[in-house]
A and B are shown apart, each in its own frame.
Chain A
Amino acid sequence: MNLYPFFNEDGFSNSYILATKKNNCPCVIIDPSDFTIEMLQLTENRNYRVEAVFLTHYNRLHVTGLTKLSKIYRPAVYTPRIGERENFDMIEIGDRKTISVGDIEIKIVNFLGDFGNAVFYRIGRFLFTGDLYQAGDWHAEEEIFTVNHAFIVKNLKNYLCSDKSNLLIYPAFGAPTSFHLEFPECFS
């Protein structure tokens, strides 16, 4: 699996392009906060076909890139919940557990149930957490964050502990991290 992270200075958020091979294959984009010239060069030079876009949740910071992207490619856009003001054709994830795009299998991890408007995506050993979790949020379980956030962290910890593989966590904001670093007590 090849992962290419990109930073958008406008919203200070991260976008990710994923593909199974180094070139000539379908790729997916997670949270396109922008579709920059670097991203376009990558997809064109490596002959990646952008077949799907996944939004961890519907937010201006995650969909701004769709305007440019939709003028170049025709990807299917998956979102946990369709917003009211979007100008794009989107597909609501609903009850789906997995979505396949070419060789890429995307597992949907939903801790918030039917009422939630945000999900995690797991692709191979990468976990895309969007706004819900970023490096160093582990202590939210006990401390200053909202009840909702503490609930997510608790569920994430349980999910990762049951899996036991060292998943790499890629958030929408800040540095990437890993399960071993966030919850070392699960291995002690």
Chain B
Amino acid sequence: MFDETVCLTEGCTDPCTDGQRFCCRCLSENERERLHTVVIEELHASSVWENRNFSLMSFRNEDFSEKLIFASSFYGVIFENCRFDRSRFFACFFEKAVFINCSFKETESKYNIVGNSTIQNTSFAGSDILFSNFIGALIENTDFSETDLYSSTFFRARLKQVNFSNCNLKKTDFRATKQESVLFRYSNYEEAFFDGGSVL
């Protein structure tokens, strides 16, 4: 027998079937929300994230400080108001990720790829970011002061109001970048590569 009632979710008038209390769409959203909560609880509980894959998730107001994040992938993940202070990133892969108002202070990262990503109002102050790849990233209003960026690449990135003061820029690749109000004070920028860039 086909028993049709209206979904109990506020504002939703879709029918629900087979004695369920929610329609199919709300049911899947509730399930996703429940899974998201489970994932976040599990991430907080573990200090080492190794070989994990995250896609199309969003994290808001989370504190992931002092984690070791190793060989993990993040596709289209949004981090907003998240803290990764004193964490260590190693061989991680971020694609089309978004970081807004995040803090990566005193982190240590090596061999990471943060390509085609957006980084806004974020601080990497006092970090070691070696052999990392920010190709094609949009980096805005971000602080890299006192950071070791040895052999990292910002190739084809767009840098707007970014602070690279007091950094180690040896072998750092700024080729073909679009720069606007970028500060290199007290850094060894003469050891970096700047070919083909444009400065506004």
Contacts and interface: CB of A to CB of B under 8 A. Distances in A.
A90 interface: no
B175 A5 contact: no
B198 to A, nearest CB: 15
B111 A175 contact: yes
Interface in A4-46: 4-5, 7, 12, 14
Contact of B133 (A7, A12, A14, A181): A181
A135 interface: yes
B104 interface: no
Contacts of B113: 168, 175-178, 181
Interface in B146-191: 151-153, 155-156, 171, 173, 175-176
Given A14-B131, A135-B155, A2 B111 contact: no
A136 B131 contact: no
B95 A7 contact: no
A136 B151 contact: no
B133 A135 contact: yes
A12 B152 CA distance: 13
Given A135-B155, A177-B115, A7 B130 contact: yes
Q: How large is the interface on B (under 10, 10 to 19, 20 to 34, 35 or more residues)?
A: 20 to 34
Most buried by A among B93, B116, B153, B196: B153
A2 B133 contact: no
B93 A168 contact: yes
Interface centre among A2, A135, A184 (most CB of B within 10 A): A135
Interface in B119-146: 130-133, 135-136
A113 interface: no
Contacts of A168: 93, 113
Given A5-B110, A177-B135, A184-B136, 16 more contacts: A5-B91, A7-B130, A136-B153, A136-B175, A174-B131, A174-B153, A175-B113, A175-B153, A177-B153, A178-B95, A178-B113, A178-B115, A180-B115, A180-B116, A181-B116, A181-B135
Interface of A: 2-5, 7, 12, 14, 135-136, 139, 166, 168, 173-178, 180-182, 184
